[in-house]
Structure 1
Amino acid sequence: MTNLAIILILLISIITDLRNRKVLNIVTLPAILIALIYHTVITGFEGFAFSSLGFLVGLGLLFIPFILGGIGAGDVKLLAAVGAWKGTMFVLYTGVFAGVIGGIIALLILLKRKQLGSTLKNMVFSFVFLKGNKGSLQLPADTHNPVSIPYAVPIALGALAAYLVGGNL
């Protein structure tokens, strides 16, 4: 049941994120609530604790990037939903894999656009002089399209990788 729920949630979120650049509340919020209810009914307080801790860890993993403006709220809620369904260890694995996969995607996009050098230079400058742009990458002024990734894709691929390596299934 939990695997089927996660597959449906992630597939719907990938489609909406790729099409509209949004992970919908109508998907994530009921997913979180149903996961909490499901685990509570199945195993009582232990299930509630399992689901709640997974939710909180999923929420916490992307909360700081969200506050810094580097990721959308829908992505945060999507990872929290994964945690609510699959628990703490699974969502930790998912978050780590999603971060690596998202970084690789961003690197490939920057390489394709020939913006890797200028982006790295701006990141080093921002770090050395503690000058930031609310957490986002500062690209050259002549850049017409900012680098943006539909992060439901790395989250789904991260969940798949966590499943394949046995992240507390």
Structure 2
Amino acid sequence: MDKLNLVAVLVVALFTAIAFGVDLKTGKLPNWLTMPALGLGVLFHSVVNGWGGLQHSLLGAVVGFALLLVLLLIGGGGGGDVKFMAALGAWFGPILVVLVFISSAVLALIITIFLVVGKMMFRARTDKPDASAGGDSAKEKLDIARQTLPYGVPVCLASWIFLLLRLVILLKTPLENG
């Protein structure tokens, strides 16, 4: 069973690595990536754990979908983010996908703060005062703050934290038993 868990960790790590790169480059998470990952997650858990695995995986997908659907409906994120979280839910199950969601929100906040502060500091160092412009306007500062980070990036980072913890547990277990 540990070999199968290792396979799951590696598949999700690959899926999230591709999602990270695609989302960072394009700002979108395409169906060609999210939908097969969702199907594979459900199939994997169904084959490995039978009916209970199917239920666990589907519940995780529904929870992941619902979490991001709420954000989509209030104007945050996109449809690809919703399907991405559903796919992660299919692999992680309902509890872990909620933990990834919460962790990713915290990471998104931290990263956004660093990006905004960094951009403001960089602009302060590189902008030469223009007598006619009168310095940075409030609108320019607001535009800097509105620049967004693709949501898949912090979700991938949060997922990797949990995958790394799972990998440590998987690799530690045989050493303790041997």
State the alpha-carbon separation in 1 of the partners of residues 161 and 51 from structure 2: 29
State the alpha-carbon separation in 2 of the partners of residues 163 and 144 from structure 1: 35
State the alpha-carbon separation in 1 of the partners of residues 104 and 116 from structure 2: 18
Unpaired segments ≥5 residues, structure 1: 115-139
> How big is the alpha-carbon RMSD for the aligned residues of Structure 1 and Structure 2?
2.2
- What secondary structure, in the 3-state scheme, does the structure 2 residue paired with 1:70 have? coil
Q: Deviations over 1:142-165 (max 9, x none)?
A: 455632111111001111223345
Q: Percent identity?
A: 31
Which residue is equivalent to 2:148? 148
Answer yes or no: is 1:92 the counterpart of 2:98.
yes
Larger Rg belongs to: 2
User: How far apart are residue 108 of structure 1 and its match?
Assistant: 1.7
State the alpha-carbon separation in 1 of the partners of residues 31 and 91 from structure 2: 16
Of residues 91, 96, 118 in structure 2, which corresponds to 1:112?
Answer: 118
Which residue is equivalent to 1:70? 76
Richer in helix (by share): 2
Q: Which runs of 4+ in 1 moved over 3 A?
A: 140-146, 163-166
1:144–1:102 Cα change, 3 Å: closer
Judge conservation of contact 1:97–1:162 (CA < 8 Å) in 2: no
Unpaired segments ≥5 residues, structure 2: 1-6, 121-137, 171-178
User: When the two structures are aligned, how many residues end up with a matched partner?
Assistant: 144
Normalization by structure 2: what TM-score? 0.72
